[in-house]
Copies of this chain bind each other. A is one copy, B any other.
């Protein structure tokens, strides 16, 4: 079993509830990464749906859970012919932490009929920064190998447009699967760091589309903010697999960095 599969494993307890053991190794500054949480919850939702893959995952973040035991409570909202929609909520200590709607089905295997959004030109992973220069402790990077395009590394010396590009792979060498794509859409450091707005930037909502099972190899990602103001920013993320295919798309709403948060 891969490191990622173990960290996001869920155990069905009864008809609707799943136990999960949140692993603080997949955290940033002591808070489990949002993409990691979505992956674990989506794993439970897809199982509850009796489907193969998540297609659309919409998470509204209520409060950050601690590490350790937690529960995913699921409700099949509609089981259709092609897709099944499930509400899945992460609970800990009788408090809802993350509420998610998941529509699950089967990802297309064939090459798309049309693709826009070509993969950006990136330096190869070995020429990228292997650990971001950040004031935070990033436990997640013990498990996920993130390489940032030097041109977009957010440092005080590299202020610029709020775009971050790079590569991602799982450190244990296991291939990223469709659930790991939920990690990939949230793995970039907050793009507003490029504007000098550093600090904990909590995700309030993240909606992701999973488009294909990724081919083995590095995933490329690009995250970009369009509107930053009034303490809020959006971040649009696209993930490509090693064949250059778009495999995931997401947009999140987050709060601008809070010092010490």
| Known contacts A78-B63, A78-B96, A204-B103; is-contact A114 B229 (Cβ 8 Å) | yes
Tell me which of A107, A195, A205, A227 has the highest count of chain B C-beta atoms within 10 A of its own C-beta: A227
Tell whether, in the assembled complex, residue A251 and residue B253 are in contact, meaning their CB atoms are under 8 Å apart: no
A224 on interface, CB distance cutoff 8 Å: yes
Tell whether, in the assembled complex, residue B228 and residue A161 are in contact, meaning their CB atoms are under 8 Å apart: no
Query: Which residues of B lie under 8 Å from residue A249 when comparing CB positions?
Result: 226-227, 234, 236, 251
> How far apart sit A103 and B100, CA to CA, in the bound complex (Å)?
12
Which of the residues B107, B113, B195, B238 comes within 8 Å of A114, measured between beta carbons? Answer: B195
Chain A contact surface mostly: strand
> How far apart sit A78 and B110, CA to CA, in the bound complex (Å)?
41
Which residue of B has the minimal Cβ distance to A102? Answer: B60
Query: Which residues of B lie under 8 Å from residue A114 when comparing CB positions?
Result: 162, 195, 225, 227-229
Tell whether, in the assembled complex, residue A62 and residue B87 are in contact, meaning their CB atoms are under 8 Å apart: no
A68 on interface, CB distance cutoff 8 Å: no
8 chain-A/chain-B pairs, Cβ below 8 angstroms: A60-B77, A60-B101, A78-B96, A109-B230, A115-B226, A115-B229, A116-B226, A211-B232
Residues of A at the B interface (CB closer than 8 Å) are 55-56, 58, 60, 62-63, 77-78, 80, 82-83, 85, 87, 89, 96, 99-101, 103, 107-117, 161-162, 195, 204-205, 207, 209, 211, 224-232, 234, 236, 238, 246, 249, 251, 253, 255
A-B pairs, top 3 by smallest CB distance, nearest first, are A108-B230, A112-B229, A58-B58
